[in-house]
Amino acid sequence: MSFYPRNRHILIEIVKNQKEEPQSTVLLPEGYGEKKDPYVCAVVKEISPSCTIGIDKGDKVVVQTSMIQEINVGDNLYTIVLENYIYGVISIG
């Protein structure tokens, strides 16, 4: 099943950080003391035809974490964001 965003939304895949989890000898609830970053890096998978932001599929972008929406359709999870909440494109080189 494919998902094609509309109404200025962009389908993204969040880039997971490869941080090592510190080993603890004290058991704490999962997520305890974690600070969520207000921005994440994501890869653009699909773009609504109504978007005017000037990005392409495959671009790495910086997205405001609190504005990311997850949509479950059947067994599929889609992650989308409105184009206004993309703050920039990451270019290496």
**Which three-class secondary structure string do you get for 6-72?**
CCCEEEEEECCCCCCCCCCCCCCCCCCCCCCCCEEEEEEEEECCCCCCCCCCCCEEEEEHHHCEEEE
Domain ranges of the chain: 1-16+37-93
Which CATH number fits the domain 1-16+37-93, given the four candidates 3.40.50.720, 1.10.3730.10, 2.40.170.20, 2.30.33.40?
2.30.33.40
pLDDT for the residue 34: 65
Q: pTM for this structure?
A: 0.80
Across residues 73-81, what is the average pLDDT? 95
For residue 23, what pLDDT is reported? 60
Instruction: Specify the pLDDT at position 32.
Output: 67
- pLDDT-derived band at 31 (thresholds 50, 70, 90) equals low
